[in-house]
Amino acid sequence: MAQPDPKIMVHVVAYNAAGTLARVLDRIPGDLRSRLTDVCVFDDASDDDTFLVGHGYKLVNDMPMLQVFRNPENRGYGGNQKLGYHYAIDKGYDIVVLLHGDGQYAPEVMPALLEPLLTGEADAVFGSRMMERGAARRGGMPLYKYVGNKILTRIENAFLGSELSEFHSGYRAYRVDALKRIPFDQNTNDFHFDTQIIIQLLAAGLRIKEVPIPTYYGDEICHVNGMRYARDVVRSVLEFRLHQAGVVQRPEYAHVPVTEYAEKSSPYSSHCKIVEMVRPGSRVLDVGCGEGHVARALREKGCYVAGADTRRIPAAEAICHRYYVADLERPDFAPAERDFDYVLFADVLEHLRDPSILRRSRGWLAPGGRVIASTGNVALWFVRLQLLLGNFSYAPRGILDETHVHLYTRKSFRRLLEKSGFAVAREDWTVIPIEKLAGSLPGLRTAIGAIDVAQYQVARVRPGLFAYQIVLEGRPNGG
């Protein structure tokens, strides 16, 4: 049984396009028109006669599939796209093609954009002005735009692990089923909507294919502020990486799973700082050991490691010499041993409503034993700045982890240790983990290392303001 022809919608975004819209519609290939279900012009509250030109075109020309809509107020470039994509979803279209009403993109090559979607090779197809060497400049793309396009695309590819030739073409086609899988309605209404939707597609594992398109720059008015656009594009990529790492929550990337807690390999991380504090060959109790990242490093130092956590984690159980599954807040929890050189609380105490386990741990230490604890510094300059701007939101990871029930500053964390019967014997700090932003940027490792050194030196001067995490070593009072 033959498959029905796909329902194809051409979504024409138009703003002050009275002088170009008719020519754009004229250029849609005649042999393609019969395959199109609808051509929908969304006039974004233009100041000129774009809406009247569209209606007039429909009356004068034999184009019954042409629909012309006028937004009662300007929705912005991204907002206008959202209207069209929701319309395509609501009307049950299979494919939607984004076409600009200003004539910057050639309607003649629309069949090339549709082909990979019709054959099932892709979920989204982007027209690229950069695939053919020199074509963009021959088509009149100004040098500053060409250079900016290349630089931004390189940054975006590096951070996202993609290999697109261009992120900034507005000539695109999507399978409507693919649009249903991403929260595009959470994107900006501004011009960097195009970047955010690419990030969403890549993060969802959807297939993107590029096809070469000609470049045309005429006398159309450019409504894009280049510097602002570049800033917004870079910010979108960084926000995605932070969301992916669990440091912030971004609604436009809500479909992206947050990565599990990973081993902190930076020499300025809390894991590495704690491991450095432990003498080789020591007996250690790792409370809240998680996946066993710290335990593994300690075993490599020849330590005996007992682990304790609220659930059985096979990876950690395999690493630890002994493993306890227990409610860490129950006052009757205690390990069988009583002779540990160190009891560790690596990013644990902030998760406990009752941190009295810290006081009880004094009885589990051998003579001369130490407790080592780390936590996020809620007085970090970045958090202070967000509060100053009126922003405060929890996230899956980081200082404002949504599972934290206590938030500590440097002073309050030291006070917790002291009230639990310990004197602070040593203090150290960690830095903002910018390596989480680097993703697939191995070439920046040296630069990131230098930035970490600079961060750490600043934190040494003002740890209460610049330390990302506080790491304390405590000795029992009187010990």
Give yes or no: residues 438 and 298 share one domain: yes
Q: Would you state the pLDDT for residue 98?
A: 97
Buried b (16+ CB within 10 A) or exposed e, 15-24: bbbbbbbbeb
In a domain, 41, yes or no: yes
CATH number at residue 289: 3.40.50.150
Hey, what are 147's tokens?
Answer: 């250079």
Give yes or no: residues 192 and 288 share one domain: no
Give yes or no: residues 312 and 376 share one domain: yes
Domain-ending residue, one of 231, 262, 288: 231
What are φ and ψ of residue 263, in 5° steps? -65, 135
Give yes or no: residues 139 and 36 share one domain: yes
Buried b (16+ CB within 10 A) or exposed e, 79-89: bbbbbbbebbe
Q: Which residue has the tokens 């050991």?
A: 289
Mean pLDDT of the chain: 90
Q: Would you state the pLDDT for residue 11?
A: 97
Query: Which has the higher per-residue pLDDT, 264 or 369?
Result: 369
- Residue 352: pLDDT band with limits 50, 70, 90: very high
Domain-ending residue, one of 203, 231, 259: 231
265 DSSP assignment: -
What digits encode the pLDDT tens for the residues 265-324? 678 888 999 999 999 999 999 999 999 999 999 999 999 999 999 999 999 999 999 999
In a domain, 258, yes or no: no
In a domain, 251, yes or no: no
In a domain, 63, yes or no: yes
> CA–CA separation, 369 vs 245, rounded Å?
35
In a domain, 250, yes or no: no
The closest of 373, 386, 390 to 428, measured between CA atoms, is: 373
Give yes or no: residues 312 and 428 share one domain: yes
- Residue 479: pLDDT band with limits 50, 70, 90: low
CATH number at residue 55: 3.90.550.10
In a domain, 439, yes or no: yes
Contact call for residues 311 and 325 (beta carbons, < 8 A) = yes
In a domain, 1, yes or no: no
In a domain, 261, yes or no: no
Give yes or no: residues 95 and 207 share one domain: yes
User: In total, how many domains does the chain have?
Assistant: 2
End-to-end CA separation in angstroms for the chain: 85
Q: Which residue has the tokens 């049950």?
A: 92
Give yes or no: residues 174 and 278 share one domain: no
**What pairing do the DSSP bridges indicate for beta strands 283-287 and 340-346?**
parallel
Give yes or no: residues 312 and 414 share one domain: yes
> CA–CA separation, 206 vs 174, rounded Å?
11
What digits encode the pLDDT tens for the residues 190-219? 999 999 999 999 999 999 999 999 987 655
Contact call for residues 50 and 14 (beta carbons, < 8 A) = yes
- Residue 227: pLDDT band with limits 50, 70, 90: confident
Strand partners of residue 211: 127
Give yes or no: residues 35 and 144 share one domain: yes
Give yes or no: residues 225 and 298 share one domain: no
Give yes or no: residues 106 and 187 share one domain: yes
Contact call for residues 286 and 308 (beta carbons, < 8 A) = yes
Q: Which domain holds residue 55?
A: 8-231
Give yes or no: residues 70 and 211 share one domain: yes
The closest of 315, 321, 314 to 298, measured between CA atoms, is: 321
What digits encode the pLDDT tens for the residues 288-297? 999 999 999 9
Long-range contacts of 411-414 (CB under 8 A, 24+ apart): 411/464, 413/373, 413/375, 413/377, 413/470, 413/472, 414/470, 414/472
